[in-house]
Amino acid sequence: MRTTVATVWGWGDEFENVKENSNKYVSRRWREGTKECSIEIMARERIEGICYYITTYTSNPKNVGNLAERIFYVALSEGDTKVDRITIQLFDTIFSDNEEYRDSIKEVKKELKAREKIIASKFVNDPKVKSVAHGRVVVFIPQINLLCELESQVANKIVMEIIHEDFPCMISLLNSLIHSLVKEGLARRVLGYKLGRSVDDLEVGDVDVWENEVRVWLI
């Protein structure tokens, strides 16, 4: 699968450049064999430190700049949010067909619960953990990657990924973003969710000792 990708906007650029830069890139790079384009916005909600991505897929090159600008302002509307960058990627296939996430939130929560025992058994004997455990209670705090697939009336599909360790905070931000996307006429409804990254993808990051407790951050 042949793709081309470029950053069309970065933090510090003028806001009005989002649409102009996106349109310029597409006008130069869209080819006869191009089937789809992704517009990915990487942002961070700075109060809770939640990183998130909004990726919009379209097969209409004339719609790219408008979509990029509209979703950019949706991201900025979420409290104290910093948009780090906007990238555009062109595909010679309908890549969004691979982005299918159809679990319910109930199923996601069930999987998170099941992961707790797996995580404990996998990391309890890690050298970083064993060196400070010494009878203390060990608490594992894994990074969670939550994916959400949305049906759109103006694009092929919208996919969001929320990354943090506090699931309730993640859901709160995700629901707010969904509400804004629907309100702005960008999304129609949620199709489903799925956890990204397996336990095997995690590794020990920081290890903090708090009196009789050890907190292990898995990243």
Closest to 170 measured CA to CA, from 73, 48, 54, 81: 48
Joined together, the tokens standing for residue 122 give 């996998």
Are residue 8 and residue 87 in the same domain, yes or no? yes
Q: How confident is the prediction for the chain on average, in pLDDT?
A: 96
The confidence band for 4, taking pLDDT boundaries of 50, 70 and 90, is: confident
Residue burial 98-108, b: 16+ Cβ < 10 Å; e: rest: ebebebebeeb
Q: Residue 71 belongs to what domain range? A: 3-98+145-196
pLDDT value of residue 45? 97
Are residue 31 and residue 85 in the same domain, yes or no? yes
Closest to 71 measured CA to CA, from 46, 58, 92: 58
Domain count, the chain: 2
Question: What's the pLDDT tens digit per position in 173-214?
Answer: 999 999 999 999 999 999 999 999 999 999 999 999 988 999
Specify the DSSP class assigned to residue 180: H
Q: What is the pTM of this model?
A: 0.95
Are residue 52 and residue 150 in the same domain, yes or no? yes
